[in-house]
Amino acid sequence: MSQTHKSSAQASPKSAHGSGKGKSPSVGAKLVVGEEGIATLLAILKKIGYKTIGPTLRDGAVVYEEIASLGDLPVGWSDEQDGGKYRLVQGTKGSFFEYLVGPTSWKRYLFPPNHKMWEADRKGGSFEVKNIDPTDIPSYAFIGVRSCELNAIRIQDKVFGFGRDDKPEAGIFSDPGYVERRKKSLIIAVNCSRAGKTCFCTSMGGDPHVVADQGHDLALTELISGSRHEFVVEVGSERGALIAELLSCRSASSSDLSDEEAVARKARSQMGRKMVANVKDVLKRNLNHKRWEEVASRCLSCANCTMVCPTCFCSSVEDKTDITGNHTERWRTWDSCFSIDFSYIHGGAVRRETKSRYRQWITHKLSNWHEQYGTSGCVGCGRCITWCPVGIDITEEAKAIKDTGE
Amino acid sequence: MVVTTRTKKTTKSTKSGAERRYRPKVAVWKFASCDGCQLSLLSCEDDLLDVVGEIEIAYFLEATTAVIKGPYDLSLVEGSITTEHDAQRIRKIRQQSKKLITIGACATSGGIQALRNFGDVDHFIRSVYARPDYISTLRTSSPIHEHVPVDFELRGCPINKNQLVEVINATLNERAPNIPHVSQCVECKKNGTVCLMVAKGVPCLGPVTHAGCGNLCPSTDRGCFGCFGPSEAPNGPSLARQLEKLGMSKQEIRDFFRSYNGNAGAFRETSEAYD
């Protein structure tokens, strides 16, 4: 999925920008800015018309919401996570990005929980359909996207057909709303300075630090020690280069780069969980394992895992008439394979028992997803482990099946 | 699912060209309850006028003393059955109603007054009333569906007014109502509410509770009390074990599950395991 932004050299959603002061840094360049560089970045993004969505503290967690300035960031905060448990804790004083992924994922903005698809009005004996105006969709700048989250966005790109030409005759369609939101979004990634107890991106083929062509416009690595507080800025796209040009920065020295690598090494060494090897085939071989019954005795069937998962994409559509029946709207809303109605077809629901719903989720995520989209559906972010109220652990379930199955 | 019965299609054109439909006769009935759910209908404010314009209120003593005789196209029933007299009355109402929808925790599970189901009713009567011989009551408070067939059950203590309008709206427009039977957690996540149980260790019945309240308690920093009763696939025992880990005593867990919907299947079974 490297189609991202290479074709577009516009920094601004309004195309208002472009009169740079000097020569733009090239894609792949690494620069260094201080705290004020991040403040400038936020200000620039707002000025050129982006809706800046980033990390901020709310109700005991770091969530992704609209932010305006450095004061909105979770400055000095970190977190501790484990199965069914998340706690904010004091982190390194003054740090901007020490926290790890929380309950929100970027799908909230690219694939909103409730979304009006079209509406229609009765006109005489007929009716008139009105589609949603795509210009109403805001241009988001996502601040603080982690490497696992970039991978998740790329997985949802495949699901919703971003970067793919529609070929209706071949049955290939894309989701116009997703494509529009995605096209307009700018991604400022942040490399992880640590990993938590529920992190396992490295065993899902990922890395806590982003690599070239991962889909980011800029990627930041926070360097904080003693009185030093700087950020290595990696330019990920031409659009990112135009923005980087407006920041007052210097080129990264070899010592900056070795500091950056040290941050990555530390995060890689701290992975709290690990997915068993070859999980795709392990699950496929064990569809009648007794573990499914066992996990169903703990599973609340509450759907939290699917709601927090950055790749889960299930939805249902609801037709809502007004009381007169003269106006109707079709809404798409998040749904889950853990809901019984989700598998309702004529005659009843297909997956009535919790064990079959749990099995459906984990086998789709880790096994069948490969056949459907050519990749795993899991990026190892650990959200489903942390935010399961009873702490059911996808890595532990896969391991139990591998250890005792066929 | 509401059983779709086609309403009479006597339509006439209005000035705007929109079809004016037959206005179904609607009755609102009260059994053992606090009236709060009926009040939800009166609290529909802006929507109320639209609703009233589309239906004929045939029996609704909370709103008007004017009574139109049955049969009725739609009966909304609030309250639980606690006396033999009411057990007879609900059968007559069912006979006169094309469609019967129960509204609220009392009508759908027995309500808070179903706490009597866990105790000794004769003892309560002797303790409370000076002349126990004047009191004629059943030993249990039971939901309407235990007495007559019900077309749709709308949950909540009280019901959510938007859901009530949606059910009436769906019925008038002959479509299924958009009332998901998922857990309160889904409502939290769609709403962006941070999980209180995971982030703060606050006891919450959300994972086993039916969505629909509008995310009232969790979005104001309180755990879910289970006002909407069990979700479609509640796992009470697993949640109860987690509540123990969060420090609740056995008695607290029993009482947590045994409140407004204490008599509803999964909640009752879980609380009884902690008796």
pLDDT of residue B19: 54
Do B19 and B87 reside in the same domain of the chain?
yes
Backbone angles phi, psi at A66, to 5 degrees: -65, 130
Euclidean distance between CA atoms A77 and A99, whole angstroms: 6
**A11 lies in a domain?**
no
Q: Which residues contact A11 (CB under 8 A, 6 or more apart)?
A: A17, A18, A48, A239, A242, A243
Do A247 and A375 reside in the same domain of the chain?
no
Residue reference for tokens 């086609």: B6
Query: Domain holding B129: CATH number?
Result: 3.40.50.700
A9 DSSP assignment: -
Euclidean distance between CA atoms B58 and A376, whole angstroms: 59
Euclidean distance between CA atoms B81 and B70, whole angstroms: 21
Q: What pairs with residue A334 in β-bridges? A: A315
**A375 lies in a domain?**
yes
| Cβ count within 10 A of residue A90 | 9
pLDDT of residue B28: 94
Judged against a pLDDT cut of 60, whether residue A11 lies above it is answered with no
Write out the residue range of the structural domain in which residue A212 sits: 30-269
**CA-based nearest residue to B106, from B51, B40, B45:** B40
**A52 is written with which tokens?**
């800046």
Closest Cβ–Cβ partner in A124, A300, A335 for B239: A300
Euclidean distance between CA atoms B199 and B194, whole angstroms: 7
Range B16-28 burial, b when 16+ CB lie within 10 A, else e: eebbebebbbbbb
Mutation target for B interface from A77, A82, A128, A300: give the one with most B CBs within 10 A: A300
Range B57-67 burial, b when 16+ CB lie within 10 A, else e: bbbbeeeeeee
Total domain count, chain A? 2
Do B147 and B247 reside in the same domain of the chain?
no
Judged against a pLDDT cut of 80, whether residue B108 lies above it is answered with yes
Euclidean distance between CA atoms A34 and A256, whole angstroms: 13
Q: Which residues contact B237 (CB under 8 A, 6 or more apart)?
A: A297, B270, B273
**Residue range A348-374: average pLDDT?**
96
| Cβ count within 10 A of residue A23 | 8
pLDDT of residue A323: 87
ipTM score for this prediction: 0.92
pLDDT of residue A12: 54
Do A119 and A178 reside in the same domain of the chain?
yes
pLDDT of residue B224: 98
* Segment B123-161, tens digit of pLDDT: 999 999 999 999 999 999 999 999 999 999 999 999 999
**Residue range B169-191: average pLDDT?**
94
**CA-based nearest residue to B150, from B98, B83, B226:** B98
Judged against a pLDDT cut of 80, whether residue A260 lies above it is answered with yes
B139 touching A (Cβ < 8 Å):
no
What percent of chain A has pLDDT above 90? 86
Amino acid at A222: E
* Segment A94-152, tens digit of pLDDT: 999 999 999 999 999 999 999 999 999 999 889 999 987 777 889 999 999 999 999 99
* Segment B236-245, tens digit of pLDDT: 999 999 999 9
Amino acid at A56: T
Do B123 and B208 reside in the same domain of the chain?
no
pLDDT of residue B4: 39
**Residue range A78-102: average pLDDT?**
98
**B98 lies in a domain?**
yes
**A208 lies in a domain?**
yes
Closest Cβ–Cβ partner in A59, A320, A387 for B178: A320
Confidence of residue B232 (pLDDT cuts 50, 70, 90): very high
B241 touching A (Cβ < 8 Å):
yes
* CA distances from residue B61 to A10, B58, B64 in whole angstroms, order as listed: 66, 10, 5
What percent of chain B has pLDDT above 70? 92
Do A75 and A137 reside in the same domain of the chain?
yes
* CA distances from residue B17 to A290, B20, B24, B120 in whole angstroms, order as listed: 63, 9, 21, 62
**Residue range A167-189: average pLDDT?**
92
Residue where a domain terminates, one of A238, A269, A300: A269
DSSP letter for each residue of A252-316:
PPHHHHHHHHHHHHHHHHT----PPTTHHHHHHHTTT-THHHHHHHH-----HHHHH-SS---EE
Do B213 and B125 reside in the same domain of the chain?
no
Q: Do B190 and A302 touch (CB under 8 A)?
A: no
Chain A CB contacts of B171 below 8 Å = none
Distance from CA of B11 to the nearest CA of A (A): 13
Write out the residue range of the structural domain in which residue B233 sits: 184-273
**B19 lies in a domain?**
yes
Q: Which residues contact B196 (CB under 8 A, 6 or more apart)?
A: A59, B202, B204, B218, B221, B222, B223
Q: Which residues contact A202 (CB under 8 A, 6 or more apart)?
A: A208, A268, A271, A380
Interstrand relation of A186-190 and A140-145 (parallel, antiparallel or unpaired): parallel
In chain B, the residue whose alpha carbon lies closest to the alpha carbon of A339 is B182
**Residue range A212-232: average pLDDT?**
96
pLDDT of residue B53: 86
Residue bearing the bigger pLDDT, A12 or A19 = A12
Q: Is A277 exposed, middle or buried (0-12, 13-18, 19+ CB in 10 A)?
A: exposed
Distance from CA of A386 to the nearest CA of B (A): 7
Do A348 and A201 reside in the same domain of the chain?
no
Euclidean distance between CA atoms B38 and B7, whole angstroms: 24
Do B212 and B236 reside in the same domain of the chain?
yes
* Segment B53-82, tens digit of pLDDT: 888 989 888 888 888 898 999 999 999 999
